[in-house]
Amino acid sequence: MLSTPCLAQAQTSKSVQLSKVILDTESRPIAGKLKGGTLCVFPSKIDGVLPKDKKSQDYERYDTLFSEKMKALGFRVVTTSGDLFAGEDDKNKADLLVGAVVYPDTLNICSSVNGEKGDVTLTVDWQIFDRAAGKVIEKATTSGKGVQEKFSRDGLVGMWNRAFIMSLTALIDQGSLQKSAGVVVTPEAPKPAPPTAATP
């Protein structure tokens, strides 16, 4: 059950929603290296992984990342990715809509039969649109880095997701989004430390 301060915040704060994510791989060069094999010795071209393009991304994927992060911090989040009947015309329902243009800066990827490892750095241009005011009320640019130290079947996806979340965290740390939404951010609970081995 919500405490009185939390309940008051939930009733008075503006709702937020991720509206759209665009991946731009053609406006700026992408640095880094792409190699193959378990020893990471066979070079390849980054264009093979990220061809030059500028297009909308899988909404459900980013909506899930955005929603989980924002809800954990106390934001009132609207999500429509699970709505079977929401069309493009009625998808945007929150008070504040957040749009993002994602630019990959560096990709250092090693790919093998065991998956991928390496690191990804992204720059994200954010815009916050107030539906009641009918205008963009805030713009910001942040960056984030995702690292995968060991080969994983979804290594590249994991790196990318972590870099996006770090960029979103940097946006929140700037304070403008919670100010616009009227939210006092709730610190996330620290992750439990891994169990230590018992001494013999």
Gap between the Cα atoms of 192 and 189, Å rounded: 9
Examine residue 44 and state whether it is found in any structural domain, yes or no: yes
Q: Does any domain span residue 193?
A: no
Does 190 fall in a domain?
A: no
Q: Would you write out the chain's pLDDT as a tens digit for each of its 200 residues?
A: 444 334 334 457 899 999 999 999 998 888 888 888 777 777 777 766 777 888 888 889 999 999 999 999 999 999 877 665 555 555 778 999 999 999 999 999 998 889 999 999 999 999 999 999 999 999 999 999 999 999 999 999 999 999 999 999 999 999 989 899 998 887 665 555 555 544 44
Whole-model pTM? 0.82
The backbone torsions φ and ψ at residue 195, rounded to the nearest 5 degrees and listed phi first, read -65, 145
Cβ neighbourhood burial of 107 (10 Å; 0-12, 13-18, 19+): buried
DSSP label at residue 59 = H
Residue 20's CATH number: 3.30.160
| Count of domains for the chain | 1
Residue 4 in domain: no
The DSSP bridge partners found for residue 148 are 118
| Domain that includes residue 170, residue range | 12-181
* Domain-located, residue 61: yes
